[in-house]
Chain A
Amino acid sequence: MNVLDVDIKYKVGQFKGNYRFAISHGVTGIWGPSGHGKTTLIQLISGLLKPAQGTISVRGKVVVDRNQHIFVPPHHRNIGVVFQEARLFPHLSVKKNLLYGMPNKTPCHISLNDVVEVLGLNALLDQMPGQCSGGEKQRVAIGRALLSQPELLLLDEPFSALDKQLKLKAINFIRKVIRKFDIPVVIISHDIADILNLTRHMLLIKQGKVEIEGDFSELLLQGYFEGSAFSNSFVNDLQFTIVSEEAAGNYKVKLQGTGHIYYLHSETKQLCAGDHIDAFLRPEDIAVATHRVNGISMQNQLEATVLEIYTDKNYAFCLLDVGTELLVQITRDSADRLNIRKNQAVYALFKSSALTMYDDSLRMSRMG
């Protein structure tokens, strides 16, 4: 069963929206330029706006059907919304904010303790929202939405108010939330990188319509990312298991789900064989070679196949299969020189220090 079925028409002033799509379990991104009706869509789904025509169903339950005169008000929809500005109630403590939407009659499968633990809110509980930083407010807003026990969580531009380091931290928290609570999530953003950090499955909204729905690689190939500078904060996410410590801080790690061996460098954390870690790799930190390179300091040299390649004015974006998908950004000139083509066998090269553990980067940002 779909988590969300939408088929509606909406009109206000010059703006016309005609949304038709379905969302299944997992994380779905809704991407599109500013002013093309993404926030309107969130308001329509959550019940803050009424469509002129059509139907919306949440897990098969009809919440809007204009023909049948059905309109379930927002407080009965069971949809959690996290808005861009966090919108913590300024007169209530963090704890009271968190508990605001928690039903006191029905049993709750998401508990306050779990939310506080996953989102790291323990030290904030007695604070007032005015005393919290932007990133903290965002986490509280996510926790508050989760505690209302929603069947679907909508995130409206959740990272746009955060700087790069805080964004990374927020992404890490949202990932933990998704893993822990197994809740369907829709993330809406004008920044493709924000979406790519959480999912590869996305809808593109333009002028109030779903222009295309698909996986990142399909959209990449069709040139939908032209000029969107998505690689600025996009990171490849990788999960590893530690195999052994080769030298101080230098670890041999195995990519989870495959037998591929990588090398990772961490100065800040002592890791043991068998530890699971989350790490990321920036597309611009990866080099491509057509042959194995000898006499080079880079420890990671992986056999890869080019799944897709897309070039814009300055850069070439290659989607490589190295046992998992890896997005690589090289200059267009390099791609032309090496004559990189789809399905070509290549090597992906990167330093062990380019592979960064999420926990490391958070710790460093805290120290910095």
Chain B
Amino acid sequence: MDLTNYHKLFTEFEISAILLSLKVAGVSVAAAVPIAIPLGWVLSRKTFRGKRLLESIVFLPLVLPPVTIGYILLYLMGRSGLLSPLWKLLGTDGLAFTFWAAVISSLVVSMPLFVRSVKASFDMIDPGFELTAQTLGANRLKVFRTISLPLAMPGVMSGFVLAFARSWGEFGATITFAGNMFGQTQTLPLAIYSSMQVPGQEFVAFKLVLISVFIALLTMYLSERLVKNI
């Protein structure tokens, strides 16, 4: 296949949706890493007042319908939402119906999967290793960097992949909070949905579904290779 003619294979509509989806999932999962790892560690290793509450908040999106999440995000971050004074201060209209809204939707929906996987892998590490490292002169940061994190790496990687996959498929929260705007917030699932609404576009929807399945399979394959090599 001659890739220089790929534009004949895919329409601009399809290419835009694929690239946007990759971008949204990539940015949201990259933003999730510095949040999910410390959060997973804290939930696994620390006991403190309010831990239960924090846990409930972090894991809530797992059990909420995505549309509800989109609604809450809109309520918080929309133009006249709770954070509107902040938007006024910054001279913007809020984040709703922008690229960043799509990223935030993905982030919120995929975060619990990431955190859960990271927490589970910290739970699996014998705290004895960390205590031993301390007696060998390592401060907390060194213990985390050289013992806890490397030992938790398989869980971190699989959490990363899960979060990416979940972002890749995110629909409900995105359409509610970010809308369905071509080139801006119309990710692959939204593009599939739109094509299905238009008579005669069934083939486009079918092509996008195939691509969606292909990318999901590729992600799973890569993650398995990664986990095996750790």
Contact = CB atoms under 8 A, between A and B. Distances in A.
Given A48-B135, A100-B146, 4 more contacts: A73-B134, A75-B135, A75-B139, A100-B133
A103 interface: yes
19 contacts: A47-B135, A48-B131, A48-B135, A73-B134, A74-B131, A75-B136, A75-B139, A77-B135, A81-B132, A81-B135, A83-B132, A87-B128, A87-B132, A89-B147, A90-B129, A91-B150, A100-B138, A103-B137, A145-B136
Contacts of B146: 100
A76 B136 CA distance: 9
B139 A89 contact: no
Interface in B5-41: none
B120 interface: no
B209 interface: no
A75 B134 contact: yes
B204 interface: no
B135 A144 contact: no
A87 to B, nearest CB: 5
A101 interface: yes
Looking at chain A, what size class is its interface with the partner chain? 20 to 34
Interface string B136-154: 1111000000110011000
A177 B136 CA distance: 18
Interface in A310-331: none
Interface of B: 126, 128-129, 131-139, 146-147, 150-151
Nearest to B138: A75
A226 to B, nearest CB: 34
Given A75-B139, A83-B128, A89 B134 contact: no
A46 B135 contact: yes
Interface in A119-163: 144-145, 148
A192 B42 CA distance: 41
A78 B151 CA distance: 25
Interface in A48-76: 48, 73-76
B225 to A, nearest CB: 18
A80 interface: yes
Contacts of A213: none
A156 to B, nearest CB: 11
Nearest to A101: B136
Nearest to A76: B137
Contacts of B150: 91
Interface of A: 46-48, 73-81, 83, 85, 87, 89-91, 100-101, 103, 144-145, 148
Contacts of A100: 133, 136, 138, 146
Contacts of B135: 46-48, 74-75, 77, 79-81, 101, 145, 148
A159 B124 CA distance: 26
B133 to A, nearest CB: 7
Nearest to B230: A91
A95 to B, nearest CB: 15
A153 to B, nearest CB: 11
A100 B128 CA distance: 15
Contacts of B128: 83, 85, 87
Contacts of B139: 73, 75
Nearest to A42: B135
A87 B133 CA distance: 10
Given A81-B132, A83-B128, A101 B137 contact: yes
A99 to B, nearest CB: 10
A91 B126 CA distance: 13
Nearest to B134: A74
A351 B139 CA distance: 55
A115 to B, nearest CB: 14
A148 B137 contact: yes
Nearest to B136: A101
Contact of B129 (A87, A144, A148): A87
A79 B138 CA distance: 12
A76 B134 CA distance: 9
Contacts of A75: 134-139
Contacts of A76: 137
Contact of A148 (B126, B131, B136): B136
Interface centre among B131, B132, B134 (most CB of A within 10 A): B132
Nearest 10 CB-CB pairings of A with B: A101-B136, A74-B134, A81-B135, A87-B132, A148-B136, A101-B137, A75-B137, A91-B150, A87-B128, A75-B134
A90 B130 CA distance: 12
Given A48-B131, A81-B132, A83-B132, A90 B151 contact: yes
Nearest to B135: A81
Contacts of B126: 87
Contacts of A83: 128, 132
B134 A91 contact: no
A89 B129 contact: yes
A66 to B, nearest CB: 20
Contacts of A78: 137
Contacts of A90: 129, 151
Contacts of B132: 81, 83, 87, 89
Contacts of B147: 89
A87 B143 CA distance: 14
B155 to A, nearest CB: 13
